[in-house]
Chain A
Amino acid sequence: MSSTFETVANIIAETCDIPRENITPESHAIDDLGIDSLDFLDIAFAIDKAFGIKLPLEQWTQEVNEGKATTEQYFVLENLCARIDELIAAKSA
């Protein structure tokens, strides 16, 4: 998770021009870092590429819109990194 977080934080810092020191595992990508959906596409592209996965953004968005999940579950960075680790594990299983 820690190396996943480092990679994700660096991607966010570079993609969105946010100082790296402002990005913590507790940061909410939308509420705290102010990342909008368009910027998140660039982040998702970079994450997909870096980890060889496909973030299920559409599924997550649908779950949030239907009230089945909260944005915190997917967009607080430590949670996002946990999801990424799950996807990596599922890929190599």
Chain B
Amino acid sequence: MRLEYFQMVDKVLALDLEARTLRTANTVPDQSPIFEGHFPGHPLLPGVLLFEIMAQTSGMLLLRLHNYDRMAFLATVDKGKLRTFVTPGQVIEVFSQLVHDGSGFARLKAEGRVEGKLVCNAEVTLKTMPFPAPELRGYLLQTAERIGMPMDASAPAGGPAPASVGNLTHV
């Protein structure tokens, strides 16, 4: 994670286009100015960033399902729970599942775990719309490549797609 740049997602572990799920791995950095204030002597990943990491994993899933033709913005967080502290150096595995793909919005369920233990969960609504700026789509495609989002169009037929270096030629 690069917290100061809001880059919350590090790596795709598994994408299943048929089940409409995505699992990501995300390492909380050892050092960040955020920990100087949150909190002195007791560094914790802020809870809002746990919601952000669930929202971003959900957004990455939705963008992939829509083949990067639309942008997704966080609109609501329902039933959000922050269950325990998350500290520097820990790896958060986030799982997101698309529950409903509506017209101009989508509802997803997400949860985060550290060493198998549930640390956060929520239902998020993402508003979807055409990319408001072309460079934003480019940035998201670069992000997809950085995190190893499988881009092979044949992924759904074989069940979960392995996390591998993204191939953006199929976008």
Contact = CB atoms under 8 A, between A and B. Distances in A.
Nearest to A40: B105
Interface residues of B, number: 11
Given A38-B75, A38-B76, A45 B102 contact: yes
B125 interface: yes
Contacts of B105: 41, 44-45, 57
A61 B102 CA distance: 14
Interface string A20-36: 00000000000000000
Among B100, B101, B102, find the residue whose CB has the most chain A CB atoms closer than 10 A: B102
A61 B76 contact: no
B137 interface: no
A46 B104 CA distance: 14
Contacts of A44: 102-103, 105
Main secondary structure of the interface of B (DSSP, over half): strand
Contacts of A59: 103
A41 B75 CA distance: 9
A48 B102 contact: yes
B11 interface: no
Interface in A32-58: 38, 41-42, 44-45, 48-49, 54-58
A45 B75 contact: no
Interface in B119-141: 125, 127
Contacts of A48: 100, 102
B125 A49 contact: no
A57 B102 contact: yes
Contact of B103 (A38, A42, A58): A58
Contacts of A38: 75-76
B104 A57 contact: yes
Interface string B70-114: 000001100000000000000000000000111111010000000
Given A44-B105, A55-B102, A57-B104, 12 more contacts: A38-B76, A41-B76, A41-B102, A44-B102, A45-B105, A45-B107, A48-B102, A54-B101, A54-B103, A57-B105, A58-B103, A59-B103
A-B CB proximity, top 8 nearest: A57-B103, A58-B104, A41-B105, A58-B103, A57-B104, A56-B103, A45-B107, A48-B102
